[in-house]
Structures are given as structure tokens and as C-alpha cells.
């Protein structure tokens, strides 16, 4: 028997131990979006202590073994124009380390300001698209890199394909990673596998799945017509290649308390205040007369784990968010709180009408159509809304564990320079202070 045939037999035997499942509708839309530059999720950690690579790798392997989605590869079947997850029996993580010389070659880095360099590396990772070209060979959901930022600062970056890891999953991953590394990276026994999980569409309660044919047609028509009337931020350069840039919006504890209290007294959520502020700022940038109105689109993302059947725990990894798109007319005389109240009521009414489930396939379809036909959007900008926000912020506080690990800062966000909004807000209330990573497509928009 030749060595080549022997290798083929070994490979075929190995493949028999793999598990495979087709992607769901929402996962499919992300598989379509990521090659164009939207949906590259990045978790960045700034450390004042050098990470112990063997311990980090041991923890990541344990996390991959207990969460199969993290060790999966995404395969594209060109004949069927479809994607599927293929999951090997054991972990396959690799950590890529980059020294100071490499870091200094990233545009803008090497200034001596560790915080500024950390920010630039975050943007660099958001635009490292290893998923740009779908192939039958597949590509991994998780990539890990460690950068030397200075003689006393290091950055650890986890880059994930959004189809396998939404924001809630990323938060869970970060917390489990820090907890396990903080325990010295010692893993007692084999990891308990939580299972691959199903697509969100397969977990929607039966009573909420169906939508009458004519209602679907009318909603699709409404979404399509409204998209032509939406206002946008002015486009600076709609022709040049794009990348995702990040602006950090941070408030102190006092002003954060005031905003949270203002939301609570009006029985609305923080997402509505952020959306209202974004709409008012966008309109103010255009120097319109006070009576002139602009119609803006707001996408609100909802973590549906608690609404599914069966209910999923918060630490169940995968993509289980849905979206609601609302439009709002904004004039120069509207106040922030009035617009925030109106924005939230529109969102709450849509939730009460079950649109987070019933419109899921419609929005996925329109997203894919925008990817395939950029000319359907203004200036081929691929902008589908002005702003996207999450229904609830991430709440987190520093701990002794963070001090022990030398964790000085961390950011979680996702790229948005393909199809998507002009501003994607990833909000966290950390130690009582609002911290937003605002992602935007450059040079379509300027900082």
C-alpha cells in the first residue's frame, strides 16, 4: 500500500470522528457578511504582566473542549452555496505571538503610549480577515494572538467569527478565560462538553415561528421602501477600500449614574438613550434648519437565550441574538429624553408583537441582498441603519483577580465596515462607569 493511500485512509478515519451540522439562517447571513468585513468579533486585553503562553493555551484548549463551537471550522460548499460547521473531537487552538519589532510595524504603533498602541492593535485585529475567501478547506471560529506592546505591556487578542460567538457568548468566554487563568491555568480532569447546540431558528417557540405569507410580503415591502428614505451620516469617501475604526466613549461614575437614573425614572433602557444621542448628533452634523426632519434607522440587538425553547443558559456559546429595526423622524427641536422614550416605546412594541422572531428571516434576507447588491444602498455604502445598540449593557467590575493578572483594560467589539450601521455601539458599565466602543467604517465616515 502506498504512503499516499495510507494517509488518505487515516484522514478518512479521522473525519469519521468529526461532527457536522448545517448553519442556520442567521448563522448563514453572518457567514456571508464576515468575508466583506462585518462580524469579526475581537476581545482585547491589555496586561501589565507577561501572559504565560503554556497556561493560556491549556485554558483555551479546555474551553474549546467544553464548547465545541469554539473548535469548529466553517466549511463552504460551493456546489450547494451553503455553509456548515465541522467539529473535530479535540481542541486545535494555536497562539500566535508577535514581538515588539512586529508590533512597531503596525501603522501608528511604537509611540511609547501603551494605551494608544493597544487601541491601534485592536483596530488591526478587527481588520485581520482570515475569513475573507470561503473555501472547502474551512476556517476556524477562534484565532488567538499575543502582542508585545512595550517592555512592560502586553496585549492578548481573541478574534472570533460572529456566526459562532455573539456578544453574550464573548462576555462569557472572557470571564471564563480570566477565571481559569487566574486559577493558575490548572485544569482538573477532562472538560465537560456542553454540546454543539442548534441554530437559533430551531429553538424559537413553535407558537412564535409562523408568520402569514401576506404579512411577510408587506413587511418586506415596508423595510425595502423605508430603506430608501433613511437619512445617513454624510459620506466622506464612499469609493476607497474600507476598514473598521473604533472610538471609545467613556463617562465618569457621576454622569453614568445620572444617565442610568434618567432611564430608570422614564422606564426605558440605556440603549434608547444611546440611540437617541446618536440620532441627534447625526442630525446636528448636517446644519439643517430646526423644522427639517431626517428619518434614521436604529437596530436593537436582543440576546434571545432566555426566550428560546428550551431556554439556554447565559454561558451557552453560539449566536443567539435577534434584531429589531425601527425608524424615527428627528427634527431640530426634539429633546434627548423625548426621543429616547419614543425610541424605546417603538422597540418595546415591536418586541410585544414578536418581531424579534417573526422578522428574523426577513432581516437576514435583506442583509444578504445588500451584500450581493451594494448598489441598492445609498452610494453603495452598504449602510442598513444609522446606529446599532444592544438591548442591555454588559455590567462588569474589577476584582482582585484582575489585579493578580495585571489586567489594565479590555475591549470587546466587532467589525462593521462591510454591511451594517454607520455606528455600532458596544456598551459596558464597568466599575459604575459607562464605556462604549463605537465602531464605524473608515473612510466612509471620519473620526
The 10s digit of each residue's pLDDT in 18-46 is: 788 999 999 999 999 999 999 999 999 99
pLDDT bin (cut points 50, 70, 90) of residue 7 is low
pLDDT at 11 over 70: no
pLDDT in tens, 339-361: 999 999 999 999 999 999 999 99
Strands annotated E in 352-432: 383-390, 394-396, 407-416, 420-430
pLDDT bin (cut points 50, 70, 90) of residue 191 is very low
The widest CA-to-CA distance across the chain, in whole angstroms, is 82
Euclidean distance between CA atoms 336 and 276, whole angstroms: 6
Percent of the chain past pLDDT 90, that is, above it, reads 74
Q: Can you give the pLDDT at residue 300? A: 98
Q: Rounded mean pLDDT of 209-226?
A: 63
Q: Can you give the pLDDT at residue 220? A: 60
pLDDT bin (cut points 50, 70, 90) of residue 388 is very high
Instruction: End-to-end CA distance of the chain: give it in Å, rounded.
Output: 63
pLDDT bin (cut points 50, 70, 90) of residue 110 is confident
Contact 299, 227 (CB under 8 A): no
Q: Can you give the pLDDT at residue 189? A: 47
- Mean pLDDT across the chain: 90
Euclidean distance between CA atoms 327 and 223, whole angstroms: 10
Give the lowest-confidence range in 72-86, 89-103, 111-125, 219-233: 219-233
- CATH H superfamily, domain 203-442: Nonribosomal peptide synthetase, condensation domain (3.30.559.30)
pLDDT at 15 over 60: no
Q: Can you give the pLDDT at residue 235? A: 95
Contact 44, 415 (CB under 8 A): no
Where are the domains positioned within the chain? 14-182, 203-442
Euclidean distance between CA atoms 445 and 447, whole angstroms: 7
278 versus 333: the higher-pLDDT residue is 278
Contact 280, 339 (CB under 8 A): yes
pLDDT at 183 over 80: no
How is residue 8 annotated by DSSP?
A: H
Q: Examine domains 14-182 and 203-442 and report if their fold is the same.
A: yes
Euclidean distance between CA atoms 198 and 19, whole angstroms: 13
Q: Rounded mean pLDDT of 183-208?
A: 70
Query: Tell me: domain 14-182, CATH 3.30.559.10, correct?
Result: yes
Q: What φ, ψ does residue 9 adopt, rounded to 5°?
A: -65, -40
Euclidean distance between CA atoms 222 and 225, whole angstroms: 5
- Alpha-carbon torsion 56, 59, 62, 66, what sign? negative
Amino acid at each position: 500500500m502506498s504512503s499516499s493511500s495510507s494517509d488518505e485512509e487515516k484522514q478518512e478515519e479521522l473525519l469519521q470522528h468529526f461532527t457536522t451540522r448545517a448553519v442556520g439562517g442567521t448563522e448563514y447571513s453572518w457567514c456571508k457578511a464576515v468575508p466583506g468585513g462585518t462580524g469579526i468579533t475581537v476581545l482585547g486585553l491589555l496586561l501589565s504582566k507577561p501572559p504565560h503562553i503554556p497556561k493560556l493555551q491549556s485554558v483555551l484548549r479546555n474551553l474549546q473542549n467544553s464548547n465545541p463551537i469554539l473548535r469548529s471550522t466553517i466549511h463552504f460548499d460551493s456546489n450547494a452555496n451553503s455553509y456548515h460547521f465541522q467539529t473535530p473531537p479535540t481542541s486545535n487552538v494555536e497562539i500566535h505571538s508577535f514581538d515588539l519589532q512586529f508590533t512597531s510595524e503596525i501603522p501608528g504603533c511604537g509611540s511609547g503610549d501603551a494605551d494608544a498602541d493597544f487601541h491601534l492593535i485592536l483596530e488591526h485585529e478587527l481588520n485581520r480577515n482570515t475569513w475573507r475567501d470561503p473555501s472547502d478547506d474551512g476556517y476556524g471560529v477562534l484565532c488567538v494572538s499575543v502582542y508585545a506592546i512595550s517592555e512592560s505591556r502586553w496585549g492578548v487578542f481573541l478574534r472570533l467569527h460572529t456566526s459562532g460567538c455573539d456578544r453574550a457568548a464573548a462576555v462569557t468566554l472572557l470571564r471564563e478565560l480570566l477565571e481559569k487563568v487566574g486559577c493558575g491555568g490548572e485544569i482538573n480532569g477532562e472538560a465537560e462538553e456542553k454540546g454543539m447546540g442548534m441554530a437559533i431558528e430551531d429553538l424559537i417557540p413553535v407558537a412564535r415561528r409562523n408568520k402569514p405569507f401576506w404579512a411577510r410580503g408587506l413587511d418586506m415591502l415596508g423595510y425595502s421602501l423605508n430603506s430608501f428614505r433613511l437619512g445617513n451620516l454624510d459620506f466622506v469617501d464612499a469609493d476607497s477600500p474600507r476598514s473598521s475604526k473604533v472610538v471609545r466613549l467613556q463617562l465618569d461614575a457621576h454622569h453614568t449614574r445620572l444617565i442610568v437614573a434618567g432611564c430608570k425614572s422614564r422606564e426605558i433602557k440605556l440603549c434608547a438613550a444611546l440611540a437617541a444621542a446618536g440620532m441627534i448628533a447625526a442630525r446636528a452634523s448636517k446644519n439643517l434648519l430646526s423644522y427639517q426632519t431626517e428619518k434614521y434607522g436604529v437596530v436593537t440587538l436582543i440576546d434571545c437565550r432566555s426566550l428560546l425553547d428550551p431556554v439556554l443558559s447565559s454561558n451557552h456559546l453560539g449566536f443567539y441574538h435577534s434584531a429589531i429595526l425601527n425608524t424615527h423622524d428627528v427634527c431640530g427641536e426634539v429633546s434627548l429624553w423625548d426621543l429616547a422614550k419614543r425610541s424605546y416605546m417603538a422597540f418595546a412594541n415591536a418586541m410585544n408583537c414578536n418581531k424579534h422572531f417573526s422578522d428574523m428571516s426577513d432581516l437576514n434576507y435583506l442583509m444578504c441582498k445588500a451584500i450581493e447588491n451594494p448598489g441598492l444602498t445609498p452610494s453603495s455604502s452598504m449602510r442598513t441603519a444609522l446606529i446599532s445598540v444592544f438591548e442591555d449593557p454588559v455590567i462588569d467590575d474589577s476584582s482582585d483577580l484582575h489585579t493578580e493578572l495585571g489586567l489594565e483594560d479590555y475591549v470587546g467589539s466587532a467589525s462593521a465596515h462591510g454591511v451594517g450601521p454607520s455606528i455600532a455601539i458596544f456598551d459596558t458599565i464597568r466599575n459604575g462607569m459607562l464605556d462604549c466602543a463605537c465602531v464605524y467604517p473608515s473612510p466612509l465616515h471620519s473620526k
